[in-house]
Amino acid sequence: MTDYLIRGADVLGRGVADIAVCEGRIVDPELVAGSDPEIVDAAGLVALPGLVDMHTHLREPGKEDAETVLSGSRSAAAGGYTCVHAMANTAPVADTAGVVEQVHRLGRAAGFTEVVPVGAVTTGLEGKQLAELGAMARSEARVRMFSDDGICVSDPLLMRRALEYVKTFDGIIAQHAQEPRLTEGAQMNEGTVSAELGLPGWPAVAEESIIARDVLLAEHVGSRLHICHASTAGSVDLIRWAKSRGVAVTAEVTPHHLMLTDELVRSFDPVFKVNPPLRTDADVQALREALADGTIDVVGTDHAPHTAEHKCSEWTAAAMGMVGMETALSIVVEAMREHDFDFGDVARVMSATPARITGASGHGSLAIGASANIVLVDPDAPHRIEPSAHATKGRNNPFDGLEVRARITDTFFYGHRVLAAGALTTPHPAGATWTDQ
């Protein structure tokens, strides 16, 4: 493998230093001095640990026309992600060891990012009985996070059992908080805009009531709970309250919920149709503050590619979801510009904390001896977002045409430069063996 000397990068935006990469690990720069490493001139660039996405839909198996593990992995690398968690709502559903191992193997074969499967909480995402959580945990894929994402585990007893059961292997349940009865037929946030447009509303209380219930359940049984894509100011208050009581809850926000509001639905363009829906400006402000003060722990993309057929339709028939891995970092930087939030904070919410929550041990650190999962960012490269140029198959990016400042230039994935000066290169040369540590 090629050794690298990354010269003059602003590490975490907190000071210029050189970073040396040798045999897939970060080493003391003096160690590579004699081995003629490839020099990467990183003057003016910021170095961060490779990003970790707790929430990605790679669509394979089942919907390979929307995304594959390979296309999604390339998209991840282009977005600076060295580890992504692939949600379970595939076809077949990732509710057995066989399916999660298949996804895991496809990720290794792709070789652009570490693909960690998320297991389903319930069989077939049907909310009736627990999936084979233990078998998935013990499989080659070593699943630790379980989620029925896309569907809420709404049965309180089943949720309690799941929270308790995954303690066996220090697992975590990631809840898609959506009270199903309160959101029947819902098409957008319930508010003044939905009232005017006559689209059935998805009220904030449908998210908040489930979060309230689940933090109390997690407290009661002493389990770890992760809240997927929190989207309302009320959710932030509940999570803050739960944390003040010592509940082991973590929470995630998506880039789009940090940036966009339901006013966009007035266009009836289904690119803005997503679940949970875009909320109000007050919600956006509350989410930004919560991300800055640590109430919300991580940014997860909820990258949800759809084929054009599922978006080039009338609003009510269109699929919910947005892609976002390739724009996540730029959007987070833009969204948090008004806050006291530097690149160290970006690394915390997009890399170190998600790595800690999911137990992704090879990620989240630039310390000497850590796996060389590194991303270089040009913080001052104004450009317009161009979804048609992205590596993902999904073209449903809501930020089309938006001008942003930060651009990902390089991604080092276990020591291999999968993205070089903005261009994807080759998969990790070690093939399927790179994760062996």
272 or 413, CB closer to other proteins? 272
Q: Which one of residues 198, 246, 369, 401 is an interface residue with other proteins (CB under 8 A)?
A: 198
Chain-centre distance for alpha carbon 107 = 16
Tell me the C-alpha distance between 364 and 346, whole Å. 11
Pick from 1, 116, 165, 180: which is nearest to 357 by CA?
116
181 or 436, CB closer to other proteins? 181
Pick from 52, 74, 145, 63: which is nearest to 310 by CA?
63
Write down the least CB distance from residue 313 to other proteins, Å. 5
23 or 184, CB closer to other proteins? 184
Q: Name the residue with tokens 């261009």.
A: 423
Q: Which one of residues 139, 183, 187, 250 is an interface residue with other proteins (CB under 8 A)?
A: 187
- Does 2 engage in binding with other proteins (CB under 8 A)? no
Write down the least CB distance from residue 314 to other proteins, Å. 4
Q: Which one of residues 24, 79, 80, 201 is an interface residue with other proteins (CB under 8 A)?
A: 201
Tell me the C-alpha distance between 97 and 87, whole Å. 14
Interacting span for other proteins (CB under 8 A) from 190-198, 236-244, 252-260, 281-289: 190-198
275 or 365, CB closer to other proteins? 275
272 or 414, CB closer to other proteins? 272
Q: Which one of residues 194, 223, 330, 411 is an interface residue with other proteins (CB under 8 A)?
A: 194
Are 379 and 405 contacting, i.e. CB atoms less than 8 angstroms apart? yes
- Does 17 engage in binding with other proteins (CB under 8 A)? no
| Total of residues contacting other proteins (CB under 8 A) | 23
Question: Out of 3, 95, 214, 302, which one is annotated catalytic?
Answer: 302
- Does 209 engage in binding with other proteins (CB under 8 A)? no
Tell me the C-alpha distance between 327 and 310, whole Å. 21
Tell me the C-alpha distance between 413 and 250, whole Å. 26
Write down the least CB distance from residue 190 to other proteins, Å. 5
Which residues, in sequence order, are bridge partners of residue 211?
Answer: none
185 or 246, CB closer to other proteins? 185
- Does 169 engage in binding with other proteins (CB under 8 A)? no
Specify whether 302 is catalytic. yes
Which residues, in sequence order, are bridge partners of residue 40?
Answer: 6
Interacting span for other proteins (CB under 8 A) from 12-20, 193-201, 217-225, 289-297: 193-201
90 or 187, CB closer to other proteins? 187
Write down the least CB distance from residue 197 to other proteins, Å. 6
DSSP labels, 154-201:
--HHHHHHHHHHGGGGT-EEEE----TGGGTT--EE-SHHHHHHTPPE
Q: Name the residue with tokens 């080759």.
A: 426
Tell me the C-alpha distance between 118 and 296, whole Å. 21
Tell me the C-alpha distance between 157 and 191, whole Å. 31
Residue ranges in 255-294 that form contacts with other proteins under rule CB under 8 A = 267-269
Are 51 and 114 contacting, i.e. CB atoms less than 8 angstroms apart? no
Tell me the C-alpha distance between 326 and 53, whole Å. 11
Residue ranges in 38-97 that form contacts with other proteins under rule CB under 8 A = none
Residue ranges in 307-346 that form contacts with other proteins under rule CB under 8 A = 309, 312-317
Are 370 and 28 contacting, i.e. CB atoms less than 8 angstroms apart? no
Write down the least CB distance from residue 103 to other proteins, Å. 28
Locate 399 and state its tokens.
């930020």
Residues at the interface with other proteins (CB under 8 A): 187, 190-192, 194-201, 203, 267-269, 309, 312-317
Could you give the residue numbers annotated as active site? 302
